[in-house]
């Protein structure tokens, strides 16, 4: 496919599936060998994409995605994105805050034979956690700490001791 065709495919995927919630269209965009380098090892393909997007929609039911600059070269398409949604579902053990969350990110997708087969992404996760009310510097093994919760003196000593 040409660079222009790859850009069109990736943008349509982000607008229709990720932003628009048309999860039934995932196989039209995602290849069977799809690898997401941000996901757990061994998770890939259209099924993993659907699971991720369902979790995203559960956490942010009113999720909105906007695409901005797009650059394509050979099989690769880079897209700067912004997103927002209201934190109404639990995410990674973080209880819903009810807050409107904004996120910025960069995505790099590889297209092969008319399907996205590889994904790299970077997002401002620390900024997102701060908007949720989570102290991202105290996540550790004891789970997320929000500004609304206080730790006991025993837990604080354990965090300091265990690092």
Predicted confidence (pLDDT) per residue in 73-115, tens digit: 999 999 999 999 999 999 888 999 999 999 999 999 999 999 9
If asked whether residues 97 and 149 sit together in one domain, one would say no
Strand spans (E) along 87-151: 100-112, 115-123
**Residue 68 near residue 53, CB atoms below 8 Å:** no
> Could you tell me the pTM of the whole model?
0.81
If asked whether residues 105 and 145 sit together in one domain, one would say no
CA 64 to chain centre: 12
If asked whether residues 148 and 128 sit together in one domain, one would say no
- The whole domain housing 152 covers 135-163
- The 10 Å Cβ neighbour count of residue 33 is 11
If asked whether residues 144 and 70 sit together in one domain, one would say no
If asked whether residues 34 and 85 sit together in one domain, one would say yes
If asked whether residues 71 and 53 sit together in one domain, one would say yes
If asked whether residues 33 and 91 sit together in one domain, one would say yes
Q: Which pLDDT belongs to residue 10?
A: 98
Q: Which pLDDT belongs to residue 140?
A: 53
Predicted confidence (pLDDT) per residue in 120-151, tens digit: 999 998 899 899 988 766 555 445 554 444 54
If asked whether residues 101 and 69 sit together in one domain, one would say yes
Predicted confidence (pLDDT) per residue in 44-69, tens digit: 899 999 999 999 999 999 999 999 99
Closest to 20 in 3D by CA, of 75, 71, 57, 48: 57
Angle at 97 between CA 94 and CA 98, to 5 degrees: 140
Give the CATH number for residue 36: 3.10.450.50
If asked whether residues 8 and 73 sit together in one domain, one would say yes
Residue whose token pair is 């206080």: 150
If asked whether residues 99 and 41 sit together in one domain, one would say yes
| Structural Rg of the chain based on CA atoms | 18
Number of structural domains (the chain) is 2
Residue 34 CB burial class (10 angstroms; 0-12, 13-18, ≥19): buried
The torsion of the CA quartet 40, 45, 49, 51, rounded to 10 degrees, works out to: -70
- Which residues have CB under 8 Å from 153's CB, separation 6+? none
If asked whether residues 52 and 98 sit together in one domain, one would say yes
If asked whether residues 121 and 144 sit together in one domain, one would say no
């Amino acid at each position: 496919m040409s660079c222009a065709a790859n850009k069109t495919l990736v943008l349509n995927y982000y607008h229709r599936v990720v932003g628009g919630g048309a999860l039934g269209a995932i196989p039209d965009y995602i290849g069977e060998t799809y690898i997401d380098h941000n996901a757990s090892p061994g998770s890939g393909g259209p099924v993993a994409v659907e699971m991720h997007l369902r979790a995203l929609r559960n956490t942010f039911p009113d999720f909105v995605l906007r695409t901005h600059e797009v650059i394509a070269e050979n099989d690769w398409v880079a897209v700067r994105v912004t997103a927002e949604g209201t934190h109404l579902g639990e995410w990674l053990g973080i209880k819903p805050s009810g807050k409107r969350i904004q996120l910025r990110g960069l995505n790099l997708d590889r297209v092969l034979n008319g399907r996205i087969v590889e994904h790299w992404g970077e997002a401002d996760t620390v900024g997102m956690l701060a908007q949720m009310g989570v102290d991202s510097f105290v996540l550790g093994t004891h789970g997320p700490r929000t500004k609304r919760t206080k730790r006991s003196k025993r837990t604080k000593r354990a965090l300091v001791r265990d690092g």
